[in-house]
Every structure is written in structure tokens, then in C-alpha cells.
Structure 1
Amino acid sequence: MAGLAAAAPDRLALVDLDSRGQELRRITRGGLWQAIGRISRSIAALPEGPVLVNPAGSIDFAMAFLGALHAGRLAITAPDFASARLRTRALEIAAVAGPVLVLTSDQQVADFTAAGHAACAVAALDGGAEAPLISWPDNRPAFVQYSSGSMAAPRGIAITHGNLTANQQMIAATFGTTEQDVTVTWLPRHHDMGLIGSLLQSLWQGLPCFSMPPMGFLQRPMVWLRAAQTHGATILGAPSFGYALCLRRIDPGQAAGLDLSRVRIAFCGAEPIDGSMLADFAARFAPAGFAETALLPCYGMAEATLMATTMRAGQGMIRSARGHVSCGSAPPGASFALRDAVSGLVSPAVQEGEICISGPHVSPGLWSRDGDAIHPFDRDLLQDGQRWLRTGDLGYRQGDSLFPVDRLDDAITLHGRTLPAADLENQVRHSAPPGTVEAVAAFAADRSVVVLLELARNPGCTEEEILQQVTEGFTHAFGLGVKARSVPRGTLPRTSSGKIRRAAARTEYLSPLRPGTVPEGN
């Protein structure tokens, strides 16, 4: 960052957009670097301890986050208060982390103060003169990323300066990013995809990044693509549900009126990838100049900083005969392999099993506030002198390509058959009339498969018709009966990054207190 700021201080770094895509604020490389230095000096004067950052805008977030790192403090990322659920989560993280200071937005200071935390707005923090440039050791923890909690309670994953540097280099090498690229994003900054893949990668490579609020995208996904057109975006990114939302909310006529011809990368990850949906997205926006080769599926997790495997820029999407999407190979300096369920060994010869990853981007473990210690992951595996992180995900390989399938713990076993929940959910989406299902959770209960569906606001057909088509399509595809139920929109339990929490949905489904309903998860 310092070198880029010195070389071209007047080049644009970050732009904050509002929920309708209008510009709120911008900052240059030089202006950002000076602000980082001043904030770093203020933080360095504080007692020892972590600093929590959760301001709403990308500019204030970058100032606070990088100011903490520059001062040698452990940064704790947390969501802003875009919803009551995210507010609760941010306060819970603060309670667990015990920061010496919360750097936040003006509107959120009172909430943290009332909870007993020292807090101030980023704009109110000014340490005077710029702080000197300091290089911290690679093994020094840089920040703690709380997992999204799709399978269990969120955990504080420690990311070192070396992890961060290694993964940024991997992303840059596989994406082929240059200063000529432009990022337009809505991804949450407290989450690994938004923080590492969009915000920090843009700053690392010196490319302008235009950022809109996540809630603005969820309400009006067209704003994201209009902003991409207006600002000449070459890089976009979203989980599968983001591209699916564009398909549901943007009709062919609106799509044809856009110009997405400059987009060369549209990365997709963070959850099982629906290949048919991505193909539909490419077809819907082809009249707008969107190239199918821009699709870039990837696989990763917070424990790997972000990226673990990826397709390369320009390769497009590849699907196997089983219908799964290739997430490419490991980036330079990293490795992936599969662990055999019987022998428990990791080997390039294993063709299907638990995905394991290795490399300098893999986190050393979980951070503990008690003694500022880092505890190795329970799933760590040392084999022939090489450390492997067991991901808990099922996948298979074809040549050098990884095809992730789903969480091992979410696999459904009935009548002697084991089926990934993601495959069952994709079948539900494809069996239902187009555009009628917004979210689905599949799990085993009552000795059968249960699928809970959130339906679109105006599906264009009756609930009975949707459930009938889902049931018939499911039975035809798998030869199994299914209990299909609809639930109110927004009530399936979700993580802070939007993933459906299947285990929580199953617990609520089986709850004797609230049979047949699934309230909002934490």
C-alpha cells in the first residue's frame, strides 16, 4: 500500500456508494495511506489488546482495519448494524473478543458504549502526524475472522500477516489482476470474500474499488450491475445466491439494457455452486455483453484466509458428468488433496474424500482471548512432515481439478444411500417453476428427506402447485419420497454471510414448541 501510494498518490483507491448506486465519498491512495498512518498512531497509544472494526463504509473500514494492522494490533472484524441480527452478532463478537477499542460508525458508538466497550467513530480518531512504516513478522497474528457458523458456533480464526500476504499473492496470480482492473462489490467487509477477495485485493493491486451496502444489493440487485456498467467494472464476485437473486429480480428486457462487456471475472464461491444457475446467469446477461468465460468458480474458507482452489481467469465454468462445478486447482504455493475415509490418509491417488488443503495461506488455528493464545485446529493432520487442514467438505478430483460437493456432516443417509444435501436442494430448485424458490434447506428427519422452501414474493402460481412439482421432480430424480414444506420468507436460519444453517433448520423443524415453523437464526 505504501509503495502504491508513493508512486501515484492521486490515483483513486476506494469509493463508497449508497444503496441506489450514487456516490457518497471517495478517497485516493495517498489520502488513504495518510489516514491509515494517523489512525495507527492513535491506536498505538492505547493499552495492549485487540481492536474491533465494523464501520459501515468501505473507506472507514479500510482506514480502521489497516490502521490497526499498521499499529501491530490484532484487528477483529464484525458486521455493521445493517439488521437486528447483525447488530446482535457484532455485540456478541465484541463480548467474546474484549477489544480495547471499537472503531465504528457514528450511529453505532452508543450501542457499544452501552455494552461496556470503549468505542469511537473512525472519523473522530486522528493521531496527528503520520506513523512510520513498520514491517511485522509473517507469523504475527494480523486479524481474527469469526467463522460464519454454518455448522457450529462461530469461531475466531487467527490470520497472520504471512497468511494474508500469501493469499493476496495467490489471488493476484490466478485472477491476473492489474492496476487497469476495476472492482464493483456489495460483499460484506467483515466476511472473508468481501474483505480479502474484494477490498484488500483491490488495495493490494492498486485497482479502484466501488462498494455498495450489502442490504442495497439484496433489495435491488440491478443497482449492482448498473454500478458495474457506470464504473466500467472488470471484476465482480458473489456467492451463488447473489447470481440467483439477479436472475429472479432482473428480467431479460432489463438485462439487455445493460453493458457488462468489460467484465472479465465474475467469481463465485462461499457455498456449493449451482452450475445450471450460473449458466442461466451467463445466458440472461449475454445480450448485455457478459461473456460466459468470465465465470470463475472458486473454493475457499476463512481457515485458508480465503482462496483454496480456483479456476484461472478466462477458463470459464466446467461441469462434470455428475453435474458438479469444477473449482479448479490450488494456486501457486498451495496444495489440495483428498483424505480417504477408510485409511484416514491424504494422498494424490485418492479420487474422492474429504478435501484437505496445505500452504502458507492456512491459518495456524483459533485465537483465544485468554492469554492471546492460538490453538491448532482440531482437524489438523500432519502427514510425512506436511501439515494439512481437514476442511470437513466432501469432494472429488478429475486430474488437477477439484469438484467440491458439500459438507460431510450435511450428507443425508437413508435406506442405504448417502446423498449430499446440496444435490437435493439443487434438484428442488430445478423441479420448481422458474423463479419461485428463493431458498431451500434439505435434511433427514422422520425417516425421510425433508425440504423447507422459502418462496418468492410473487411466484406466479400457487404454493400447492410449487410443492407438487417439487415432490414429483424429487421422486423422479432420486427415487425417494420427500416431505416438502414452505416457510415464511427470511425465516430459514442463516449465517452472517447468508448460508442456510441446515442443522439449525432441522432442530427448529423437530422442535415440539414450534412444530412446522423455522424462526430466524442467529
Structure 2
Amino acid sequence: MTVQTFKTLGQVLTHWSQIQPEHKAYTMLDNNGVEESHITYGELHSQAKKIAQTLLGSGLQSRNVILLYPPGIDFIIAFFGCLYAGVIPAPIHAPKRNRSNQKIASLVHSIDAAAILVPEAQKETYDQILSKEENWPEELPYIVTDRLFNLSPLATPELPDLDGSTLAFLQFTSGSTSLPKGVMISHSNCLSNLEMALSVTSATPESTFVSWLPHYHDLGLVAHLLHSFYGGSHCVILAPTTFVSRPLEWLRAITNYGGQYTGAPNFAYQLCVDKIRPEEQKNLDLSCLRMAINAAEPINAQTLLDFSEKFAENGFKPQMFLPAYGMAEGTVFISSGTLEQEPVYLEIDLDILGKDNIAVETNNDTHKKRLVGCGHGKLGEQLFIIDPQRNCEVPRYHVGEVWVTGPNIMAGYYQNPEATAKTLVSQKGDRLYLRTGDLGFMDEDGELYITGRLKDLIIVNGVNYYPQDIEICVGQAHKDIRSGCVIAFSVPGKTAEELVIVAELNKAGMTKMGQSGYLEEMVEAISSKIGEEFELSVTQLVFLRIGRIPKTSSGKLQRQQCKQMFLQESLDVLGRWTQSDGTQESQEAIHTQHLEKTFDEIMSMGFTHLQVFTNLMQMFTKDYEVKMVEFDLEKPLLVYGIDSVKLTEIHRQLQRKLECSLPIEVFCENKNVKGMLNEIVGAMSNNSH
């Protein structure tokens, strides 16, 4: 089967309903992993057709409708009903009680929705929640789709004759850097993307997919629900909440149904590593898997290695992982590795990457980063790495913006010509290129590596830092920081950009935040870890309660929104530290103790130590606003905002004051002051011999 065979997604469903009407298309599991319902291809065709005829009778052809469904088969029937009728569905997440649903109201307005499709069980609840929103449209009708399943087939109206250029559906961008936009996907876009995916997987009617991913997210909708249907396969579905509360159920479903194809963002595999206990693993059998996609967020190499090691006893092999890269604007699939080949890893020098934007392989354990390759484009698609300033292609291993061209690229953003013009650009004739906004590079074999988002890039003292690297580092700094709930960004300072960290604390951390010395403990742990890994100082640390970090509906961190909330002081802050606050200890007695302890220790070291320390403190207090009464010899200089750039100037001045040459290597902001003093005095002693 090829994309040339069919013009629309509806024709594909009609085909499978005729070829294998009794074959299971989708199976829904309940919260305990027990089969709740299923539907065959014949039933799906019949019920979707009834919905299509009702939609046509309501005059909705070519109009946009919102699909508001919990996970399950009702959504799938409604979605295909829209496709048959030429109605454009826009799946979104369900509204939440006691929370603002302004975002849903904004999405409804942004696409001029003509109706909302809902299941009967949720209609009244959703209506009560959404009608409270200030700008909710009063006349927007609800269509309850499951009431239509038992109707007799209608003779009229006839289903419209659609072609590949017809808009199939709208899928909203993740909104990780801005308000979600309606991505217009034509039937041709989607069929091309599904053909690309099938060229990788070779899925057949004998194949089984297992997915817990949200149906309103491109990875869940296209890469699983539609990919499965395109191959005539069977897809087993769990609710996202089932997975998050009990990750074991995902792997149990794979075991019980012999799942060959599955996938998720990186955090899901890490959750399995962290939460599934050894005794729970005993009855798992993952040997049936052919593909486990890791996509939709930055791929952590260590997660792949840890998952492979943990579940090796259950038949999981590293070559089952399929690292991939995609986005809604590319329908979903842009690049991937190859089945039955292990992920491609590349260890690069982090310092050179930051300073020169070039990926250089390294064996240096101190400042290296292990990247995971995201494969190549497929079929008629082409990938390029472009310098966003000079608008030209860069050499291999040089970092630039990822551009993509191919038949799977969106038609544009709905009623947003300005955003469309910025994202779809014309080069080399009439061909359109998608500017992804992602930074990456290719190796000599054309393997794609993603390094970060262009908008999120942090630049301090002329060096580029990728926020996800800093966020992972912070997450490892202290056991009370919630994994995957850290955001790093920069704000303008007096002389340069300054680093801000916003982090959620777990229950233990929330309880301890009021205790004396706890905030100082967290500051030191995070400052030391970031200093060690990146030679950066943190200007501000903000701690939040569980669930307060801004994320999209699909779980992606919203760095730009978080930054705006920080600047507007609208974050729900549990605890805060700024560099100018010092250690946050303001009691006079504590300050006096610090001062006495510091001078007692320096005096005991000898005259040379005192001479060096006195000169250093003159510079620290005069030029860098360090408060002597709060100074602690045991803390690294980064706690006081003294980074590698400032130390370079301190090194120059100290050599002049002491009238001797000192190696720059002894001036390391990661060390505590005592250690640095010892090395400086040792270097002075060597010079005198």
C-alpha cells in the first residue's frame, strides 16, 4: 500500500473495513489494564459514517469543530466521522475542574469552531466548567456523538468527494514557547507522513501497537492511532493518567497483547526506571517489541542505557529503541533511526559546543555531553542545517537551525499568516521549507542530532548554554528537587545576562522549606553542581510547590511562559534566593560567628595565606559586592556570583598586587575558597625556589 493508492484517510478506512471487517482496530483498557471495549474496522467504518451524515445534515462540511473527549474509542469514531464528512476536527485536552480553562476558550476562538463534539457522559460536566470562562461563546452547540451509534444508516446526504489537498484536521502546537497555533494538516500531508512511518516499521494487519499517549498530541494521534490504522494493525490504548499513576501498566499491556510497536517521550522511560520495582518486573515479557520510539522531548542518553539495563531480564534489547525527531508542523514524523539497530551515540566537548557552535568528539570526562542521534529523513523528505543569521547551510558538525522540506510539511497555521510566513519560507524556487526553531547538527553520515530550541538558548559571556542540560544538572543536585520539573532561563543583569533557576520541590522539600538552613543547603547544592558542570553562577533560585511549574498539556516545559511569569512576579513562590541576599542568614550573632571562624582559620594557616586572603577580600567586597560578614571559606565562589570570567580579572589583579606570576588553573570557581588559597600559596612557594 502506498500513498498514491488513496487520496484521503477516509478511503484508507473504507479499504480496511472491506478487506478485514472483523479485525480489531482499537482496544481500550481500563485503569487496571483490563479490556474495557474494542471496535473492529467494520464497526468503525459504520459508526463513523453515521456521525459523518449527521455532521453533514447540520451543515458543518468544511467547518472546524472541537473534539473534547477523554481517552478512548468514542474519540476515534468521532475523528473518523469528521474525516468522512469533510469536517475539520481539532482534538484538544479535556477541561479541568477548579482550574482556569481560558486556554481552551482561546483555542476555540482561534479556529472559529462551529461546534464541539463530546460523548454524552461528559457533555453536562464539560459545559458547566467551560461556560464559566469569561469569553466562552454562548451559542456554540454541542453534538453528542455516541447517541448516533444506534441510529439506522441514512440514505442521504452522500459523503463528499474529497481529495488530498483537502484539510484533514487541525492539531495544535505544543505551546512550549507561545500560545498554541492550529497546524493545518491536509489528507496528503498525513498520508505522506504515515507512508514515511510505515517505511520504517513495515507494520501489517498482524502487528499490534500499544499507546498511552494523549490523542490530542501529534505523537499519540499520528504516530500511534493513525500509524496503526494505516497498516491495518491493532492498537491497544491506555489512558495517560493510568500510565502516570502506574507506569507498570504500560509494560504489562505490551506483555499481555504481544505489543510490537510503542513509544513515548524520554520522561516515560525514566519513570519506568525509577518507579517499577524489581518484584513487579518478574512477569513482564518485552521480547515481542520491535520498536520503542523515544521522541517529543530531548532524549537523554543515560535514560536509554538505564532502561535497557533494567529491563534486559525481561527481554528488552537496546536495538528496540527508536530515537526520533518530529513536530506537529511536520505532521509528526521528521526523522528516525532504523529498526533493529542500536541508538547512535556521540560524545562531544561541551565547552567547544558552547563557545564555537561546533560538535567535536571528545573522551574528556570533565566537560562532555553524550548526544543521541535522531536518524535521517525518509522518502521524499530532506533535512538541512541552516545558519539562522546568514541564512545559509553550515558544514557538518556545525550547529544551526533544522530546516525541513517534504510532502509531510503543514499547509500553514490556521488564520495566522504572519506566523506561517515566519515558519514556512521559500528557497530554491517554489519549494517551501519548514523552519523548526530547533538547533542541531549532522555528522558525516547525515545523522541528525538535536541540541536545543533556538528561542530557549541561554547566552552568558558569549557562551551558548542549552537549558535542558542545566535543568538535568539541577535535578541531580539534590534529592528534594522533582525530576523533569526544573526550568532554566536568563534575564538581563547589570552587565550581562544572568541565570535564573525555577524548580519544583517534592513533598519532603516542601515540608523542609520553612526549616532553618534548608534554603542555604539547596542553594549550595545547586550552585556547586552548576559551577562544576558549566562554570556558571546562579543569580536567582525560585522554588515552587508540586504542579506549579508551567507545562503544556502534553507535559513539555514552557520556558518562555515561566520566564514571563518570573518577570511579572506571578509565580506561586514557595522559597526564593537571590545572589544579593547572600546566605539569607541575617542574624547578627550568626554573622559574628562566621567572621570569627573565618579569621581564626586564616590566622592558623600562616602569614602568606592571610596576605593572599586579605587581597582577595578587598577585591570581592569592593568590586563584586560580597559581604565579608557572610563569607564562608568552605563554599565555592559561585555561591557569591564569582564565575570564571570574573576570576580571570581577579587573577590579573592579584598577580599585580602580589608581584608574582600565578597559573590560571588555580583560579577555579568550583573550588571552595580554602582550597583555592592553598593552591595559590603553593604556586607562590614554587615561584620562590
Calculate the TM-score normalised by the size of structure 2: 0.70
Task: Give the match for residue 162 of structure 1.
Answer: 188
Offset, 1:4: 1.5
Tell me, what secondary structure is at the counterpart of 2:531?
A: helix
Offset, 1:427: 2.5
Task: Give the match for residue 7 of structure 1.
Answer: 19
Taking the aligned partners of 1:414 and 1:24, their CA distance within structure 2 comes to: 53
Pick closer, same or farther for the CA change 1:11–1:87 going to 2, 3 Å: farther
Aligned 1:53-72 pairs, distance under 5 A: 53-72=67-86
Pick closer, same or farther for the CA change 1:201–1:374 going to 2, 3 Å: farther
Note if contact 1:424-1:442 (Cα within 8 Å) is conserved in structure 2.
yes
Task: Give the match for residue 101 of structure 1.
Answer: 115
Note if contact 1:102-1:119 (Cα within 8 Å) is conserved in structure 2.
yes
- Percent identity between the aligned chains? 28
Of the candidates 99, 120, 128, which is equivalent to residue 152 of structure 2?
Answer: 128
Taking the aligned partners of 2:393 and 2:79, their CA distance within structure 1 comes to: 37
Tell me, what secondary structure is at the counterpart of 2:372?
A: coil
Task: Give the match for residue 480 of structure 1.
Answer: 536
Tell me, what secondary structure is at the counterpart of 2:407?
A: coil
Task: Give the match for residue 51 of structure 2.
Answer: 39
Tell me, what secondary structure is at the counterpart of 2:259?
A: coil
Report the residue type matching 2:153 in the other structure.
Answer: A
Tell me, what secondary structure is at the counterpart of 2:501?
A: strand
Of the candidates 325, 328, 333, which is equivalent to residue 375 of structure 2?
Answer: 328
Aligned 1:149-228 pairs, distance under 5 A: 149-228=175-254
Report the residue type matching 1:390 in the other structure.
Answer: R
Of the candidates 344, 351, 354, which is equivalent to residue 391 of structure 2?
Answer: 344
Task: Give the match for residue 425 of structure 1.
Answer: 471
Taking the aligned partners of 1:466 and 1:255, their CA distance within structure 2 comes to: 35
Note if contact 1:366-1:377 (Cα within 8 Å) is conserved in structure 2.
no
Tell me, what secondary structure is at the counterpart of 2:425?
A: strand
Task: Give the match for residue 104 of structure 2.
Answer: 90
Superposed CA deviations along residues 44-93 of structure 1, whole A, max 9, x for unmatched, are 11224222212224311111111111111111221124666595543432
Matched, 1:507 2:564: yes
Task: Give the match for residue 368 of structure 1.
Answer: 415
> Unpaired segments of 5 or more residues in structure 2?
1-12, 349-369, 576-689
Superposed CA deviations along residues 340-363 of structure 1, whole A, max 9, x for unmatched, are 234212467683200000000000
Taking the aligned partners of 1:462 and 1:279, their CA distance within structure 2 comes to: 33
Pick closer, same or farther for the CA change 1:157–1:436 going to 2, 3 Å: closer
Taking the aligned partners of 1:105 and 1:410, their CA distance within structure 2 comes to: 39
Q: CA RMSD in A?
A: 2.7
Note if contact 2:52-2:159 (Cα within 8 Å) is conserved in structure 1.
no
Taking the aligned partners of 1:96 and 1:288, their CA distance within structure 2 comes to: 47
May I ask how many residue pairs the two structures share in their alignment?
Answer: 515
Matched, 1:394 2:420: no
Taking the aligned partners of 2:381 and 2:450, their CA distance within structure 1 comes to: 17
Tell me, what secondary structure is at the counterpart of 1:409?
A: coil
Task: Give the match for residue 273 of structure 1.
Answer: 299
Note if contact 2:203-2:231 (Cα within 8 Å) is conserved in structure 1.
yes
Taking the aligned partners of 1:513 and 1:453, their CA distance within structure 2 comes to: 15
Task: Give the match for residue 424 of structure 2.
Answer: 380
Of the candidates 11, 17, 21, which is equivalent to residue 29 of structure 2?
Answer: 17
Task: Give the match for residue 451 of structure 2.
Answer: 405
Taking the aligned partners of 2:569 and 2:93, their CA distance within structure 1 comes to: 33
Pick closer, same or farther for the CA change 1:329–1:85 going to 2, 3 Å: farther
Q: Greater relative contact order (Cα 8 A, min sep 6): structure 1 or 2?
A: 1
Aligned 1:297-308 pairs, distance under 5 A: 297-308=323-334
Taking the aligned partners of 1:2 and 1:261, their CA distance within structure 2 comes to: 33
Task: Give the match for residue 640 of structure 2.
Answer: none
Pick closer, same or farther for the CA change 1:51–1:516 going to 2, 3 Å: closer
Report the residue type matching 1:511 in the other structure.
Answer: Q
Report the residue type matching 1:368 in the other structure.
Answer: Q
Largest Rg, 1 or 2: 2
Report the residue type matching 1:506 in the other structure.
Answer: K
Superposed CA deviations along residues 150-197 of structure 1, whole A, max 9, x for unmatched, are 101111111001001000101111122222221111111011111001
Calculate the TM-score normalised by the size of structure 1: 0.91
> Unpaired segments of 5 or more residues in structure 1?
none
Note if contact 2:480-2:505 (Cα within 8 Å) is conserved in structure 1.
no
Note if contact 1:264-1:291 (Cα within 8 Å) is conserved in structure 2.
no
Task: Give the match for residue 547 of structure 2.
Answer: 490
Note if contact 1:508-1:517 (Cα within 8 Å) is conserved in structure 2.
no
Pick closer, same or farther for the CA change 1:466–1:262 going to 2, 3 Å: farther
Task: Give the match for residue 142 of structure 2.
Answer: 119
Note if contact 1:17-1:23 (Cα within 8 Å) is conserved in structure 2.
yes
